[in-house]
Amino acid sequence: MKKILFSAMLFMASLTAFADEGMWMICNLSAKTDSVLKSMGLELSHDEIYSKDHPSLNDAIVQFGGFCSGVVVSNDGLVFTNHHCGYRAIQDHSTPQHDYLKDGFFAKDFEDELPNEDLYVDFHIGTTDVTDQILKYVTPDMDRKQREAVVDSVTKVLTDAIDDPDNGIHSAVVPYYKGSKYYLSIYLKYSDVRLVFAPPSCLGKHGGDTDNWMWPRQTCDFSVFRIYAGKDNKPAEYSKDNVPFHPKRYAVVSTQGYKPGDFCMTFGYPGSTERYLSSYGIDHTVECENIPRITAREAKQEVMKKAMDSSDALRIMYSSKYAESSNYWKNSIGMNKALKDLNVVAEKQATEKEIMDWVAKDAARQAKYATMLDSLKVIYENTKERDYAYTMWEECFYSGSDIMQFAISQFLGVMKEDKPNLKKEVEKAYKDIDMTTDKQLFIVSLKCYKEHVPEQYWPEFYKEIDKEMGGDIEAFADMVYGKTILTKPEELKKKTDLNEYLGTDPMFGVALQAIMQLYAMYGSDEAQEYERLLGDALREMNSDKEYYPDANFTLRMSYGLVGGYTTNEGVRYECFTPSQSIIDKYEKQGNNPDYELTEPVYKWLKKGKFGKKYLDKKDKDMHLCFLTNNDITGGNSGSGMFDGKGRLIGLAFDGNWEAMSGDILFDDNLQRTIGVDIRFVLSVIENYSKGKRLIKELTIE
């Protein structure tokens, strides 16, 4: 009995020990990391994960649309990603008569699969360290602008030597550790990506804003697309003659399931983290980014929600915009709360004290690092008002009214000497604009900016509003929307350019003054150089420890174990949600529209005809979503979750509320990845939607 108890204690200790943070570059995994992976349960060799010489798991992973991740799951180019990643495409094809958001979509044959303008996937070909090639031209006496100019010049030379747009090849040199290292990554882009399957939103978006960033979850957050290519299997622009793409490697799908303590790894394209940010930088993020974002988005979302509730047409039109806005509105709220609850600033300050004590013991270190923290304190204090105003500018002017955004974009295009296809731009931009709603967004955005931003950062048009209209922003909006050509898309389509309106049209006048104010506020980001030095000092002080680079939209893997967690308040959450839990949410909280189920979905769930092969082997139930302690962030949405054999067991789609500070500090005890169980996905495809043809494409073990 003692031996059994001791073994159990060792197992529980191992769960904590292996709660390993990190978004690791798969092209240069160290022997130490490789050893940890093997000890946790990975059965693949490093070459089976990433290889330049033969097919590997790397070849099945895609960056989806530049904002999400996905995984190729068939030899005919089928891609699984999240429902919220495919949401814009699903919306674009939806009408009140064919409401694919509400009812879902299933292409019963290849000919029924729907093309999507501007949607693409990128395959990662390889990554090379080019630090020496770049930094050899950087000297210690350069200021930040000079350094950036040199880096940009060398980067252009490196990428120009590789890029081949006609064949879909493009590259990017990206800074790591805030510019202490540089890597060049090469990608292959396929731009004919078609919608194949979407579940009804009551499954794919179940829980809505109520459950966003929360656990427990029952969201079947997936959608299915297909990559098409030319007949030579190479990238090609959309054509009805294109054929399904055949990948070098696709992912095998597992219905074996998981249990607490099982190994799991994710592959995807995490967007942005600031794990090495200073304590001053964290305070700046809270005050100058999150708070203004929360304030502005609350005002805009109220307008959109009112419009969406008024008709199905407006619900479809604004659903994607609303979802995009509310996602990081709630993220910002959760991050600020978690940073405070978990005393993240105090923890950072303790690390900074340790670093400065280490610096003080060596003259060379003092010469390099002694002033970095004092400099950061001064810089962040001096830029606080400006950066608050800058975030509000983005939220209220560029992301407020759609036609104001269109006007700003036209001005910026003229400055860059772009020559747009105006008809195409108008058709694309105006597809989802309702003028009444847009005018209300214009009004609340202008009011929000004026109310919360100091007068010194106001564009000139506020003086006109105060002088000529007694401060009446609604009267100003009436004048602008009554006179601007931008409320007349049919007239706009007939124009070859808008130069004749740039100096006379009132909305273009508002846009120009907003841009002028933006440039007046713009300043170099001096803090970044000292933040880079702080990171260098940390790594130098702990030279025996591996430090992964912050997320930057490049391919990363993370590893962990399946498992629940206990909150700081003592609430215990298990690692998966059972099928009854989604029914309970609907039946017991039916007045919440986020928990609504359509009648067909509700009947299917009540019958429990999920398919025996998709039930968990142990409890004979359908598992909906599950938890691991993998390390992910925005951009990882749609990332494949793989078991130790490299088989797909789920799709990552969210994190948990208690650890919303995760972009800045990974909490071993609390941070969790939420994934949709792949068996739930397969059951919805096969047993709810009768999508047998898609199931036949997959290799299922």
User: Which residues belong to the active site?
Assistant: 84, 221, 637
Helix (H, G, I), strand (E, B) or coil at 489: helix
Residue 543 Cα distances to 180, 241, 540, 634, angstroms = 15, 56, 5, 29
* 606: Cα separation from own chain's centroid: 34
Nearest alpha carbon to residue 332 among 287, 299, 381 = 287
CA atoms within 13 A on the CB side of 293: 20
Cβ–Cβ < 8 Å for 220, 682 = no
Burial class (CB in 10 A: 0-12, 13-18, 19+), 550: buried
Cβ–Cβ < 8 Å for 548, 22 = yes
Rounded CA separation 244/113 (Å): 11
How many Cβ atoms from other residues are within 10 Å of residue 51's Cβ? 17
DSSP annotation string for 126-142: EEEE-HHHHHTT--TT-
Nearest alpha carbon to residue 70 among 124, 118, 137 = 124
Rounded CA separation 449/395 (Å): 9
Burial class (CB in 10 A: 0-12, 13-18, 19+), 224: buried
> With helix as H, strand as E and coil as C, how does 205-217 read?
CCCHHHHCCCCCC
Residue 266's beta-bridge partner residues?
Answer: 558, 641
Rounded CA separation 180/587 (Å): 55
Rounded CA separation 111/241 (Å): 11
Helix (H, G, I), strand (E, B) or coil at 531: helix
Helix (H, G, I), strand (E, B) or coil at 603: helix
φ, ψ dihedrals at 439, nearest 5° = -65, -40
Helix (H, G, I), strand (E, B) or coil at 287: helix
How many Cβ atoms from other residues are within 10 Å of residue 646's Cβ? 21
